[in-house]
Chain A
C-alpha cells in the first residue's frame, strides 16, 4: 500500500480539522467576570486533540479500504493503548474519549468482519442481510415486543421513573409511526409534523376546558381537527416538488407555533394552558377524594389509592393508541391507497400515467399522518396537564423525523428500535444529554451516507402471487 499517499490524505484532513477547530474550539467566548460583555479563553489543547483524532481517524478509515484486516486492527489497538491515557488527562469532554474507544472498537470489529467474510462484498448484499434480519425481527420479535410492552408495568424492576420513560418512548413510537405514513410510505418529507401534534394537543385542551367534554369524546375530535389542518395546509402545497414541500411544511409548523405564542386570548400565549383535565377510566377518575356522586378508580376496584394507577393507565392508553396506529398502517399498506402512496414515492410521473390522482393520494397520506399526530397530541396534553408552544418547536419535528429516518423509512419495527435508541437510551446517560441532538444530527448524516434506507430497512411486498394464488384458485 502507498503509505505516503495515505499520510498525505490524513494530513490534509488534519489541516482542515485545524482550520475548523482553531476559531471555534481554540477560543471560547465567556462572560467577563464581574463586568459586562464577553471575553475569550483559549483551549489550544483541545484543538490539538481534535487534529490528532481526525488524522488518526482518517488514516483508519483509509486503511479499512484495504483488503487485509491487520493494519486497521493495529491502528485501533494503537489508539486504545496510546491514545486513551493521553485523552483522559487532556480532554475537557470525557465523551471524546468514549467516542475514540467506540470508533476504535467499530474499526477493529469491522476489519475482522471483512477478514472472515469471504466474499468481502459490502453494499447490496449487506443491505439484504440487514433487511432479512429486520424481517426476522419483525416477524418473530414483534409479538414478543408487544407482550413485553403489555407486562412491562408489572415487572418487579419497573419503577415509576421507568414507567414514565416508557410512556415517553411510546409517544415517540406513535409519532414515528404516524410520520412514517407520510415520509416512509408516501415519500413526502414533512418538516412541520409537530404542528399537527400541537393542533391535537390544543384542541383537546381547549375543548376539554371550555366545553367540559371527556377525554374519550375529545380524542377523535382532536384527531379530526389535526386531519382537517392537514388537508387545509396540504391542499395548496402537495403538488410542489419534494424539497420545496419540506421547506413549506417547516414554514407551516413555525406559523402555527408563532400564532399559538402570540394569540394569547385563544391559546394562553407563552404561558400555555394549564390544568387540562386528566383522563378517566370508563368515567372513573384517578383521584384520592372524588367529588360527591363520582366513584373513583380505586374505590370501584376496592384497592388503596395510588398515584401510580394513573401512570399505568396512561401507559396502556398510549400503548393502545400506538398499536392502533401500527395495525392501521399495516392494513392500509395492503389497500389500493397504500400501494398508491408507495408508488408515488417511487415515481410520481409513472403514477400520473396510470391514472392515479397524485394530489388526492398525497392529501390522504398527509391527513392520516396528521390525524395520528393529533391523537398523540391529545394524549400528550392529558398526560402533562399543561401545554405551551415551547413543546412544539422545530426540534421536535426534527427528532421525530430522525426516528423515522434512522429506523428505516417505511419500517415499523425500525421506528420502535430508533425511538428506544434516540429517546430511551439518552435518558439513561444523563451526562450525555448535551450531546443528544449533536448525535441525532450526525446520525442523520451518517445514515444517509451509509444506509439511506435506514438501519433496519426491509420492505415486505403488499401482496405476493403465491399468497394470492391460494385465494384465487
Chain B
C-alpha cells in the first residue's frame, strides 16, 4: 500500500510568553493511518492539536493538509473554517458535548453546514420545502447509523449530559465523524475508560481507519491503545520531537524510554516496567 501524506507539519513552534510549548516540530500524518502523538504530561501534545484546529495561531510553522477536499494551509485559517472547509474534526480532552441537548441533536448539529445549505440558509427551511426535509432525513439517517454502531439508539433522545461517561466519549467521536472529516483528531479518547471500554474504542478507531478510510491523529496515554492500533507514533518531550516511527521502533528508542522514566534511571529500568513498555501496557 502506498502511503499518501494527509497532514504535513513543518517547523511548528508555539510560545506562551516565555514558555516554548512546542518547539520546531515536523512530522507527517498519512491518510488511512492512525498516527499517535505521545509524550509525558506537558510535552505539548494538546498544543499541537490546538494549533492544528485553529484554537491557537502558531507564529512559526506550516500545517499543510492535503485531503479529499483539496489542499489547505491550516495555519492561515480560522478555527471553524478548518473544520468546515478543510474537514478536520476533533474531540477534546475534557469532553465537550452539548450536555443539555439530546444525543441525536448533538449528531445533527455536527451536520450543521450541510443542513444550512439545504435549508437555503434558513429561508427554505422556514417554509418547510421538501428539499430541506429530505436533507434533514438524510442527516437523521447518518446519525442513526452512528447510534446503531455505538449501541446508543435507545438513548437517542436522552440529554447527552445524562449518558454514562464512556458513552459520552464515544458519542463525541461519533459527533466528530458526522462532520464527514478527512482527518479526525482525538485528544485522549481512552482517558477514564475501563479495559472493556478501551477495547471497544480500539475496535472503533481501527474501523474508522479501515472502513471510513480517513486519517486519525491520536493523543493518548493508554499504551495498550497506542501500541495496539497505531500505524505510526510521534513522541514529544518538553515541546520537542524526540522520536518518530512505527510502534516497534518507538518502543525500543532509548530517548523515549528516558523521557518516560527520567534521565538517571535509564540504566536500571525496573524489569516489569520494561516488559510493560514492550508489551504495550500502561506506563
Chains A and B in contact, CB within 8 Å: yes
Name A's B-contacting residues (CB within 8 A).
328, 331-332, 335-337, 339-340, 342-343, 346-347, 349-358, 364, 459, 461-466, 468-469, 471-472
13 more A-B contacts (CB under 8 A) besides A346-B98, A354-B175, A465-B147? A328-B126, A332-B126, A336-B116, A339-B105, A340-B112, A340-B116, A342-B105, A346-B101, A347-B98, A356-B112, A364-B122, A462-B105, A468-B136
Is B89's CB under 8 angstroms from A354's CB?
A: yes
Chain A residue with the shortest CB-CB distance to B85 = A355
Is B102's CB under 8 angstroms from A353's CB?
A: no
Count of CB-CB pairs between chains A and B under 8 Å: 128
Complex CA gap A331/B123 in Å reads: 11
Q: How far is the CB of A393 from chain B (nearest CB, A)?
A: 33
Chain B residues positioned under 8 Å from A339 (CB to CB): 101, 105, 108-109, 112
**With known contacts A335-B122, A349-B96, A350-B97, A463–B147 Cβ distance under 8 A:** no
B119's partner among A336, A352, A353 (CB-CB below 8 A) is A336
Is A464's CB under 8 angstroms from B104's CB?
A: yes
Is A352's CB under 8 angstroms from B79's CB?
A: yes
Complex CA gap A405/B34 in Å reads: 47
B100 touches A (CB below 8 Å): yes
Chain B residue with the shortest CB-CB distance to A459 = B100
Q: How far is the CB of A414 from chain B (nearest CB, A)?
A: 16
Is A350's CB under 8 angstroms from B104's CB?
A: no
Chain A residues positioned under 8 Å from B115 (CB to CB): 336
**With known contacts A335-B125, A337-B122, A356-B80, A463–B105 Cβ distance under 8 A:** yes
For chain B, give the interface size range.
35 or more
Residues 68-89 of B at the A interface (beta carbon under 8 Å): 79-85, 89
**With known contacts A342-B101, A346-B100, A465-B156, A472–B137 Cβ distance under 8 A:** yes
Chain B residues positioned under 8 Å from A469 (CB to CB): 140, 144
Chain A residue with the shortest CB-CB distance to B155 = A465
Residues 217-234 of B at the A interface (beta carbon under 8 Å): none
Q: How far is the CB of B26 from chain A (nearest CB, A)?
A: 24
A464's partner among B97, B125, B157 (CB-CB below 8 A) is B157
Chain B residues positioned under 8 Å from A354 (CB to CB): 80, 83, 89, 109-110, 112, 175-176, 179
Complex CA gap A328/B153 in Å reads: 31
Complex CA gap A334/B198 in Å reads: 35
Chain B residues positioned under 8 Å from A328 (CB to CB): 126
Is B100's CB under 8 angstroms from A355's CB?
A: no
Is A461's CB under 8 angstroms from B179's CB?
A: no
By Cβ-Cβ distance, the 7 closest A-B pairs, closest first, are A355-B84, A355-B83, A465-B156, A346-B98, A336-B115, A350-B96, A335-B125
A463's partner among B82, B92, B104, B113 (CB-CB below 8 A) is B104
Q: How far is the CB of B281 from chain A (nearest CB, A)?
A: 31
**With known contacts A355-B83, A464-B157, A343–B109 Cβ distance under 8 A:** yes
Q: How far is the CB of B147 from chain A (nearest CB, A)?
A: 7
**With known contacts A335-B125, A346-B98, A465–B54 Cβ distance under 8 A:** no
**With known contacts A353-B53, A355-B112, A471-B137, A342–B98 Cβ distance under 8 A:** yes
Chain B residues positioned under 8 Å from A340 (CB to CB): 109, 112, 116
B153's partner among A335, A337, A350, A465 (CB-CB below 8 A) is A465
Is A461's CB under 8 angstroms from B126's CB?
A: no
Is A468's CB under 8 angstroms from B126's CB?
A: no
